[in-house]
Chains A and B, each alone.
Chain A
Amino acid sequence: AQSVTQPDIHITVSEGASLELRCNYSYGATPYLFWYVQSPGQGLQLLLKYFSGDTLVQGIKGFEAEFKRSQSSFNLRKPSVHWSDAAEYFCAVGAYSGGGADGLTFGKGTHLIIQP
């Protein structure tokens, strides 16, 4: 079974500083990998996804993530954060069983706090 670890429960970053959120996954084959963002009281919004091809993927809102197979990681980055980036961020891993869609497995989330 797949699993996802987000080692940081909370991260505090100054506005304008760079950001990296960590994600490690466990899965036997090449997984589908996703990053989602959740603003307070809202559902989750897809930031970006990876399945194959270029290991550096670009997403919405200026985010990018890099797939590193050797490290089983899919870290999310942003060169300069804005106060509006304060939210909960979830990494997720998925697999396709062939007989239907498996549910995504989510990490427990990283709460991002932006300092003025």
Chain B
Amino acid sequence: DVKVTQSSRYLVKRTGEKVFLECVQDMDHENMFWYRQDPGLGLRLIYFSYDVKMKEKGDIPEGYSVSREKKERFSLILESASTNQTSMYLCASSAGTGFGYTFGSGTRLTVV
């Protein structure tokens, strides 16, 4: 079964910490995405990548960066975590828009 794996289900970090959220896919997909999900706001695109070392800003990139050194791995980085970044983070991968996305199970991040 194809998979997108997010390294942590739950994470608690302190304000100001540098936080890494890791995502790995085993489907050889070109495209990978990071979304955050908040009640009443749905899913909002943070960053996406359509190739190794390529990245594009989504709708809410402020306060985040990403890294894609290998095709299967896409990391989301919070340079200096803040309480307003407390959220559910969802990673997804895709062979192309028409194929839809495969999502990971999510990482619930709490910044205290």
Chain A contact residues, CB within 8 Å of chain B: 32, 34, 36, 41-46, 49, 51, 90, 94-96, 100-109
Binds A, one of B14-22, B67-75, B77-85, B91-99: B91-99
Q: How far is the CA of A94 from the CA of B101 in the complex (A)?
A: 11
Count class of interface residues, chain B: 20 to 34
Chain B residues with CB under 8 A of A106: 35, 42-43
Q: How far is the CA of A108 from the CA of B39 in the complex (A)?
A: 8
Chain B residues with CB under 8 A of A100: 31, 50-51, 54, 56
Chain A residues with CB under 8 A of B94: 101
Give the contacting residue for A104; candidates B40, B97, B106; CB below 8 A.
B97
Chain B residues with CB under 8 A of A96: 96-98
> Is A95 a contact of B97 with CB atoms below 8 Å?
yes
Cβ of B66 within 8 Å of any chain A Cβ, yes or no, is no
Q: Which 9 A-B pairs have the closest CB atoms?
A: A100-B50, A43-B103, A108-B42, A103-B45, A106-B43, A101-B31, A94-B97, A44-B103, A46-B100
Chain B residues with CB under 8 A of A109: 42
Q: How far is the CA of A60 from the CA of B106 in the complex (A)?
A: 22
> Is A104 a contact of B103 with CB atoms below 8 Å?
no
> What are 15 A-B residue pairs whose CB atoms fall within 8 Å in the complex?
A43-B105, A44-B90, A44-B92, A44-B101, A45-B103, A49-B100, A94-B97, A96-B96, A101-B31, A101-B50, A101-B94, A103-B48, A106-B42, A107-B42, A108-B40
Q: How far is the CA of A51 from the CA of B98 in the complex (A)?
A: 7
Chain A residues with CB under 8 A of B101: 44, 46, 104
Chain B residues with CB under 8 A of A95: 97
Q: How far is the CA of A109 from the CA of B98 in the complex (A)?
A: 21
Chain A residues with CB under 8 A of B33: 103-104
> Is A34 a contact of B100 with CB atoms below 8 Å?
yes
